[in-house]
Amino acid sequence: MKKFKHLALLLALVLSLGIFLACEKPESQKEEVVESPVEETQSGSEITVTDMMGREINFTEVPSKVIVLKPSESEILDAIGGIDSLIGRGTYVDYPESVLDLPVVATGRDTNAEEIIALEPDLVLMSDMAQTEEQISSLENAGIKVVMTSAATIDEVYKSIEVVGKVMRLEENAEGVIAQMKSDFEELSKTAEQNAGKTIYFEISPLEYGLWSGGSGTFMDEIGNILGLENIFSDIEGWSEVSEEEVIARNPDYIVTIAMGSTEGETPVEEILGRAGWEGISAVQNEKVLNLTDDSLSRPSPRLVQGAKALSEFISE
C-alpha cells in the first residue's frame, strides 16, 4: 500500500509539472514554440489570436466559460484577473484554492473530450503535452475554442501570459504581471554577486523513481542564474534524467527538491540527507537542502517569482 501511495504522489508531481510527458513526446509530434506567439487582428469585437503552437484562433466575444487542463494556466488566469471565468479544471489544477470546488476533468493521456464537452465551455486552455490532434478536433468540432500554451523558459512564461491576456481581453493586466515579474527578477539579481562560485542541483524526481533535473533552457536553470548560482547540470539541455554518480561528482553547494513526500516516514530533505554515498556532498554536509512543496518553482507561471524569492532567502541564511 505504501508503494502505491508513493507512486500516486510521483504521478501528481509529473503531471503537475508536465515535464516528463513533454520530454517523452516523439520527435515527429513535437512542434516548435512560436517565437512571437501573439498575432492579433481586430475588427470590431472580433479578434484573431495566434497561440504558442502557431495556431490561429478567431474570437467574436470574450470567453466566459473556461476550462484549464494544466496548473500553470489556472495560475496565469488568476494573476491577470480572469479566474472567475473558470468553470472546470484538470486533475492537478489546485491553485488558487477557490478552484478546488470546480468540476474536474481528466488530463494528459487520459484526456476525455466528451467529458470536457459535457461542461459546455467556450474555451479550453491546454498545453502540447499529451493531447492528441483527434482530441483537439473533437473539441473544436463541438464549437469550443482551444488555445495552446507551452513554456519551459521564463521568456516563454511571459509569452503564455501574453497569449492568455489577449484571449481574455485582459491585455493591460497581463502586461502589468509581466512587468512586475521582470522587476522582481531584476531586484533578485542584485544578490548574484554574493553567490558567485556557488552551485545548485534542482531535483525534480526523487531517487526512488530515478533522478531528474532541469538543465539549460529551463526556468529552473534561469532562476539559478538570476541568483548567481551555477546549475550543476547546465550542460544538459532541458528536463533530463541524471545519475547519482553525476550529482555526487558535481558536488553542489545547494540542493532544491520539489518532491511532495508522503504522509509516512521521512521528509524529502531527510531522505536526501540520509542517502548512502551523498555524505561528501557540500549541500548535504552543510544541510543546505530546500524542499519547496508549494509548486512555486515547478510551474511555468507568475508564481515563479515567489519560488525564486524563497530560494534566495534560503541561500542567504
* Average pLDDT score over residue span 194-208: 95
Burial of 42 (0-12, 13-18, 19+ CB in 10 A): exposed
Contacts of residue 282, defined as CB under 8 A and 6 or more positions apart, other chains included, come to: 251, 252, 253, 288
Q: pTM of the prediction? A: 0.88
- What CATH number was assigned to the domain covering residues 15-169? 3.40.50.1980
What are the b/e assignments for 136-161, b being 16+ CB within 10 Å?
Answer: bebbeeeebbbbbbbbbbbebbbbbb
Which tens digit of pLDDT belongs to each residue from 76-105? Answer: 999 999 999 999 999 999 999 999 999 999
The class (CATH top level) of 191-315 is alpha beta
The least confident of 20-29, 163-172, 211-220, 264-273 is 20-29
pLDDT at 131 (0 to 100)? 72
pLDDT at position 109 is 81
Does 24 have pLDDT greater than 70? Answer: no
CATH 3.40.50.1980 domain range(s) in the chain:
15-169, 191-315
26-52 pLDDT tens trace: 343 344 444 444 444 444 579 999 999
Q: Residue 108 pLDDT more than 60?
A: yes
User: For the segment 233-291, what is each residue's pLDDT rounded down to a tens digit?
Assistant: 999 999 999 999 999 999 999 999 998 766 567 899 999 999 999 999 999 999 999 99
